[in-house]
Structure 1
Amino acid sequence: MHDLKWIRENPAAFDAGLARKGLEPRSAEILALDAERRSVQTRVQEMQARRNEASKQIGMLKKQGQDASAVMEEVAKLKDDVPALEVKDRELGEQLDAILASLPNLPAADVPDGPDEDHNVELRKWGTPRMFDFEPKEHDFLGTALGLMDFDGAAKLSGARFVVLKGKLARLERALAQFMLDTQTEEHGYTEVNPPTLVKDSALFGTGQLPKFGEDLFKTSTGHWLIPTAEVPLTNLVGDSIVDEAALPIRMTALTPCYRSEAGAAGKDTRGMIRQHQFWKVEMVSITHPDRSEEEHERMTKCAETILQRLGLPYRVIVLCTGDMGFSSQKTYDIEVWLPGQDRYREISSCSNCGDFQARRMKARFKSDKGNRLVHTLNGSGLAVGRTLVAVLENYQQADGSIVVPEVLRGYMGGLDVIR
């Protein structure tokens, strides 16, 4: 959500920020509605003041034995007129809120400009892709050949974009999730949280998925929504509250199932586990002081990178351009892991600094010497578990179709070193 006061003071900068996102200017429309609403509010205040004054005048006239009928008629008319103006005030406020709620966060100054993913900028690479002495296979071929990855069975149960993992692959996915949680909690200082995965409209509004992106979500018959990521419940834990400045930063992590309709993804990644309706993810969320959110963004990204480094998976970090960023983000780093079966890098984590954009929507504040201020919120994958499983299968495959278990996972796998 945007700060209306800031737009009043910086209309040109606001429109320039929207232009960087490929959007038309909106400040004139917003400020016209704002001016009209403020005029209505001023008129209501004047009428209420006059009504109070006239009511006192009626008492004085009656006390003096004078005719108060004219003033009484004026008060009656004011009493009828004020509610209509109050309705107008509410309507204008709702129009303003609807416009502000529909507009994305403005990109940070150092975000590269560009309309789409082709204009993202690579920042760094880690690791060297393995040289195979055979043609590397994609994960779905490997998992199916092992008899441990079943897409047909999942389709019978649920349709397309689902998978059933069995035996040692199911355990490998669980091992990855446990390893991620242990690393983020024991080494990086995140507090593990087990949140609800069904949430109300207000939670999704707070993090920016509603009202604009409802088609990307699954909704139940009870009115609850299935979470697309644990960012939603974790971030909203500080909504409608005021935390102490000394408590910042608040760092939380959660392993949850995530649900996405993949609206608009027809024809994209229809095979395999890359783009599923249901998947597991370890999410990281930070609630920070505004002066330290950029530093926290770098830290969070490094926390996600640590997982890939421990697993020995080559990756690169890119900064998203203005046209490829998410709705609530002011700056996003994507981490892309190398998949030899596809011969390219694919996203495995997205770490975003949302500034005070989400905090304003959910009224998340902290108490400081300067009064109550909005916190800054950040979120990132640490990591997407299913995609990490994909990367392990493809990078650790052997010529005979077996999969070497990364050394850091063997303790979680009961000492197993190869899946055959």
Structure 2
Amino acid sequence: MIGRLHHVVLPSRDPRQTAQFWSRILDLPIVADDPELVVVASNEAAPGLAFRPLTPTELAERPDRPGRDDGRQDAPVIQLLVNDFATAVDEVWRAGCHPVEGREDLFADPDGNRFQLLPRVTPPAPEPTIWRRFVAIGDSVTEGMVDSDGHGQWIGWADRLAAHIATHQDQPLEYANLAVSGYRIHDIRTQQFDAALAMEPDLMGIVGGVNDVISLRPDFDQMAADLDIMFARARARGITVISFTNPDISRANPLATVVRDRLLTLNGIVRRLAREHGVLFVDFEHVPVASDPRLWGEDRLHINMLGHIRVAAGMAWLLALPGFDRSWAVDIDEQPGDVPEGVTDQVRAGAKSHIDWARRHFGPWVVAGLRGKEYSQGKECKRPALAAVEVRKE
């Protein structure tokens, strides 16, 4: 023997974010966090995975969008022995990674490095978590537009998730929804977050940013700072925080390509901060069905009832609620019975429909975004106080 294995060193666009990903996947600490090398290992003396910054040459050769497999067949593969394959796949999805090449066992980390899950043994299933108080904060997406209850009120993914939780546990769940249409991330932090903390939730949903990216000059540094504060303060209190990235909405409405790059930048901020603070999130940007036009309303700016149903199921899966699997991510055509009557693929309706849509919906939406706070003045949240979620009995 000439020596022992020290570290496997991999290049990375963002060594710290990639190390945080592997720290979660391997349940190992980050034992070194320097500008030139970030190390994940069981202790400072043990071998582990290390990540260094890309050189300028490597940076120029790498794809523009990290987190996607580069498709190289000769790329090295990190193999992981897992106790339970299905559970491991769920955890990898929850960490924001999805299968590559149509294989259930092969994934790519935030830098595109491939890793493979190899099953070992099956342990007993963990006891489900009991949630006492769930508070959701955000904008129109969390408020529930355009998922109508038929009586002038919005339902939305957060209401549906609260119902899922209450239905699948014996103890009652209290729920509040402080989201207000038109709010930007700074509004959410300054006008909703402290009120949400005061309710002492053990589960909090924090989603926002779309109203920021349609503004004239979105301040991504301020957005990141506000999200960082909310994630950090909530997690410091032991609150489980859930969030998600935005789908690529340019597929649902082609004219929205004007804000596509901004949305992807916002998604990158959410990913980075979620991994840094241990926030649970679903990476809808990398889930193809999330961009299916049939999940979007007539305005092509908000998800419809089916979209909210899918998001709620995805968040229930994220929380490992009993009875929920990854079927929320299955292509709609594989589950045709899920499509409500009258829901169509509006993107294929022709150029005239795009022009009509831009005049009726997109233009006013952008104008509202430029107006900023005026757009949300005078609006109130729909569930300002905690109340027990009614469980419907079959």
Same fold (TM over 0.5): no
TM-score, normalised to structure 2, is 0.27
Higher strand share: 1
Higher relative contact order (CA 8 A, sep 6+): 1
